Amino acid sequence: MTVPQQSSPFFQQLRQINGDRGFLANLGGFFCVSCMMGLGNLFSQSLFHENMAWLLGPLMVMIALYFFLPYFILLLTNKRSSDG
């Protein structure tokens, strides 16, 4: 099986999305955004009397994919290229 070239536009875009963040930085960013979404839901409940919890589930999945998918793809491809 051939290892994808690290200089391809796909991997350059992944590096740009990840921004050289490590796992703990991605986890911290995910935690901060999750807290802000929870506070936004509390604000919406108290001011507008609308519960936006139905929207939080899909948004949490999308945010988790944004923070962790590029990191794990880059991590897996770097391990494969360094093994050979």
pLDDT higher than threshold 90 for residue 2: no
Yes or no: say if 67 and 29 are a contact pair by the CB < 8 Å rule: yes
Predicted TM-score (pTM) of this structure? 0.79
Please compute the mean of the pLDDT values over residues 31-59 and round it to a whole number: 94
Instruction: Determine the Cα–Cα distance for residues 55 and 46; give it in Å rounded to an integer.
Output: 17
Mean pLDDT of the chain: 88
Residue 25, CA distances (Å) to 22, 31, 34, 52 in order: 5, 10, 14, 27
In terms of Cα–Cα distance, which of 22, 2, 1 is closest to 74? 22
